[in-house]
Homo-oligomer: A and B are copies of this chain.
Amino acid sequence: MAEKFFSERNLKFLLHEVHQAQDLTGFAYFAEHSRESFDLVLDTAARLARDVLKPAHREMDQKPPVFENGRVKVHPLVRPLMKECGAGGWIAAQSPFEAGGQQLPTMINAACAFIMNAANFSASVYPFLTAGAAELIESFGSEELKTTFIPKMHSGEWQGTMALTEPQAGSSLSDITTLAEPTDQGYYLLRGQKIFISAGDHDGVDNIVHLLLAKIKGAPPGVKGISLFVAPKLRPGPGGLEFNDLNVAGIYHKLGYRGCPLTQLSLGENNDCRGWLVGEAHRGLPYMFQMMNGARIGVGIQAAAIASAAYYDSLEYARTRLQGRRLTSKDPTTPQIPILEHADVKRMLLFQRAVVEGSLGLLLQVSRYADLAKAAEGEDQEKYALLLDLLTPVAKTYPSEMGILAVSQALQILGGYGYCDEFPVEQHFRDMRIHPIHEGTTGIQGLDLLGRKVVMKQGRALSLYLEELEKTAAAASADEVLAPYGRRLSEASGKLKEVTGRLIGLALEGQVDLFLADSTLYLEFFGIIALAWQWLLQGLALRQGLAGRPSEAEAGFYQGKLAAMKFFFHYELPKIQGLVGRLLESDGLVLSVDSGFLAD
């Protein structure tokens, strides 16, 4: 196993040289911070990741949670980890000062999440999920809910969750049936089932706080009748915490992501499960989407992080494993060479870097938009909020889908050893596969991007985005090395405009089915171009770095990244050609297939 699981140099390059994290401190909301304080936070995250999280990575997979006597027992690391994340301010990091937080920019928090997830994805879920749940109460909950729940969550004593999915309603939230019956005591009585709830019960904390969707008795059908509740496992009572009739029905045995339990919950078996309404009735879905949008970007970070760890594991192997000789000197009496020197192994490494570092660039970009949408004002604020909205499904999906391929290539570099559990790559391969599924499947993200985000506000977000692409392409045109890549990005941006125009034309004609039939392909196409954009932005910073008389080591870093950038443009961006061809056909081929024909 490689010691390295992420590149600190690269992370700082992205934050400071590409995405100008420091700029954020110019806004009042982030004014207490500085580049130095950012770097300090990153260093602390790296230490926690290296010293605490990484050493337990393998063991948490090999000793997954067990369900015994109605309780879920997790790895003994979880309790001290949650404590440390509480004490170190990680769970409250993004919260405002007045709520005990640090008002840390999302961008820096995302970078820290990347580091921790690269060390141990399953373990990192516990604190980050709690942070998201606490933030949701903070944004929409009553003062009483805030004072009751948030401090214990921020301290890592109580776990937060996100409880949406039900057996009969996975992607289709309008069909949830968990019922909330009002009482005159200020709470509702909940009855129903939730499934696939991450960290939905465990003994690494003293209580579990579910942020949960349910329907108030008599609510309108569909998503307009969904409300948000806080439903703890143990509720505060006069004599301390008492059981809230919220049972664990079981846990799932999973392909990967084994360090964290996925639970099945049963609410109100004895009609005594109390839930407290968050915000207004029937407004639960939009509230939940605050957490969900953050979680989607979080999934992208998790995916990019796992792919980062796999990259360094495969790089380490490729450097030390001797095998074969150069194609031009096959004399068997000469010594074997490290497989790193074989063109195809280099290609597999460059592919991984292109995916990992391009994805990370995009994720920090959208995180920056989240910060600007919070800190900026007026038109700017609106612009960044729109860009964030538009790019969220892309930032979730590209790393998740391409991460599978990246880790698969890491595994391939190790050959037979990659398939065996002596090396950690097979675990990365299993861990990675959850990402296109949770927090909205890839299919759902495609519908969200094309059916909602691209068309919202008369396509305003897309126009703003195309301007960003063009701005980057134009900046590249002044640089002799980057100019050809600027042209490629500009062409791709033109294709994006053309394809989108064609598809929207179908929507305007009322052909909704046809408009959205290939939305998953559209998302793939969109994602590749987004990465090209991010790589070119990185290219601009790289050229600047190279122009600044760097040390030899620094120049090597810039050159390596420049190679990965070129790789993306020469090997990945061309994939849009086939996609453009297909998307422009819009022939409804799949729609026209009688589902009965799929049988034999």
Q: When chains A and B are docked, how far (Å) is the Cα of A418 from the Cα of B327?
A: 42
A600 in complex: contacting residue of B7, B195, B350, B567, CB < 8 Å: B7
Q: Does A168 belong to the interface (CB within 8 Å)?
A: yes
Q: When chains A and B are docked, how far (Å) is the Cα of A172 from the Cα of B323?
A: 6
B567 near A590 (CB under 8 angstroms)?
A: yes
Chain B residue contacts of A574, Cβ below 8 A: 577-579, 581-582
Q: Which one of B195, B512, B585, B597 lies within 8 Å of A560 (CB-CB)? A: B597
Given the interface pairs A336-B175, A421-B255, A446-B344, the reply to whether A404 lies near B415 with Cβ below 8 Å is no
Q: Which of these binds chain B: A155-163, A185-193, A435-443, A475-483?
A: A435-443
Q: Which residues of B contact A350 (CB under 8 A)?
A: 590, 593, 598
* Interface pair B327/A512, CB less than 8 Å apart: yes
B595 pairs with A340, CB closer than 8 A = yes
Closest Cβ–Cβ distance, residue A509 to chain B (whole Å): 13
By a CB distance below 8 angstroms, the chain B residues around A547 are none
User: Does A362 make an interface contact (CB < 8 A)?
Assistant: no
Find A172's partner among B7, B315, B324, B426 (CB 8 Å cutoff).
Answer: B324
Whether B9 contacts A332 by the Cβ 8 Å rule is no
Q: Is the interface of A mostly helix, strand, loop or mixed?
A: helix
Complex Cα distance, B557 from A343, in Å, reads 45
Question: Does A28 touch B at the CB level, under 8 Å?
Answer: no
Distance between A8 CB and nearest chain B CB, rounded to angstroms: 9
Measured in the bound complex, the distance between the Cα atoms of B599 and A360 in whole Å is 17
Are A570 and B585 also in contact (CB < 8 A) when A223-B332, A255-B421, A433-B429 are? yes
Asked if A433 and B415 make an inter-chain contact with CB atoms under 8 angstroms apart, the answer reads no
Q: Which of A130-138, A288-296, A456-464, A513-521 contacts B (4 or more CB under 8 A)?
A: A513-521
Question: Is A218 interfacial (CB-CB < 8 Å)?
Answer: no
From 121 to 180 in chain A, residues with beta carbon under 8 angstroms from any chain B beta carbon are: 165, 168-172, 174-175
User: Is A550 engaged at the interface, CB distance under 8 Å to the other chain?
Assistant: no
Q: A349 contacts which chain B residues (CB < 8 A)?
A: 598
Instruction: State whether A252 touches B420 (Cβ < 8 A).
Output: yes
Least CB distance from A65 to B in Å reads 14
Shortest C-beta distance, A567 to chain B (Å), equals 7
Within 8 A of B (CB), among A316-340: 322-328, 330-333, 336, 338, 340
Task: Contact check, A171 vs B415: say whether CB atoms are below 8 A apart.
Answer: yes
Shortest CB-to-CB span from A313 to chain B, Å, is 13
> B residues within 8 A CB of A416?
165, 170, 195-196, 252, 262, 437-438
Shortest Cβ distance from residue A283 to the other chain B in the assembled complex, whole angstroms: 17
Q: Is the pair B344, A420 in contact by a Cβ cutoff of 8 Å?
A: no
Indicate if the CB atoms of B419 and A254 lie closer than 8 Å. Answer: yes
A296 shortest CB reach to chain B, Å: 16
Whether B221 contacts A520 by the Cβ 8 Å rule is: no
> Quick one: given A322-B168, A574-B581, A578-B576, are A347 and B590 in contact (CB under 8 Å)?
yes
CB distance from A148 to the nearest CB of B (A): 31
* Cβ contacts under 8 Å, A494 to chain B: none
Distance between Cα atoms of A517 and B342 in the complex (Å): 9
Q: Report yes or no: A343 in contact with B254, Cβ–Cβ below 8 A.
A: no
A470 an interface residue at 8 Å Cβ cutoff? no
A382 at the interface (CB under 8 A from B): no
Contact B419 A436 (CB under 8 A): no
Find out whether the CB atom of A560 lies under 8 angstroms from the CB atom of B591: no
Say whether A36 faces chain B, with CB atoms less than 8 Å apart.
no
Contacts A574-B578, A578-B574 given: A175-B343 contact, CB under 8 Å?
Answer: no
**Bound complex: CA of A349 vs CA of B9, how far in Å?**
43
CB contacts under 8 Å to B, within A452-475, are: none
Q: Is A556 part of the binding interface, using a Cβ–Cβ cutoff of 8 Å?
A: yes
Q: Is A58's beta carbon under 8 Å from chain B?
A: no
Using A174-B332, A557-B600 as known contacts, say yes or no to A415 and B430 having CB atoms under 8 A apart. no
* Contact across chains for A332 and B222 when beta carbons are under 8 A apart: yes
CB A591 to nearest CB in B, in angstroms, measures 6
A489 to chain B, nearest CB (A): 16
In the complex, what residues of B have CB within 8 A of residue A326's CB?
513
Q: Contact between B315 and A599 (Cβ–Cβ < 8 Å)?
A: yes
A497 located at the interface, meaning its Cβ lies under 8 Å from any Cβ of chain B in the complex:
no
Q: For chain A residues 544-592, which have a beta carbon within 8 Å of chain B?
A: 556-557, 559-560, 563, 566-567, 570-571, 574-579, 581-582, 585, 587, 589-592
Contact check: which of B411, B575, B600 meets A578 at CB < 8 Å? B575
How far, in whole Å, are A464 and B262 apart by their CA atoms in the complex? 55
Instruction: Give 20 A-B contacts (CB < 8 Å), ordered by A residue.
Output: A168-B322, A170-B415, A175-B324, A195-B416, A196-B416, A222-B333, A252-B419, A255-B420, A256-B419, A338-B595, A340-B595, A344-B443, A347-B518, A350-B593, A412-B441, A416-B437, A429-B433, A556-B600, A559-B597, A560-B594
Query: Top 10 nearest A-B pairs by Cβ distance?
Result: A222-B332, A560-B597, A574-B578, A344-B443, A172-B324, A577-B577, A255-B426, A563-B593, A221-B332, A174-B332
Given A344-B446, A416-B437, A574-B581, 9 extra CB contacts under 8 A: A171-B323, A175-B332, A254-B421, A254-B426, A315-B598, A346-B591, A556-B596, A556-B597, A570-B582
A residues with a Cβ closer than 8 A to B are 7, 9-10, 165, 168-172, 174-175, 195-196, 221-223, 252-257, 262, 315, 322-328, 330-333, 336, 338, 340-347, 349-350, 353, 404, 408, 411-412, 415-416, 418-422, 426, 429-430, 433-434, 436-438, 441-443, 446-447, 451, 512-513, 516-521, 556-557, 559-560, 563, 566-567, 570-571, 574-579, 581-582, 585, 587, 589-600
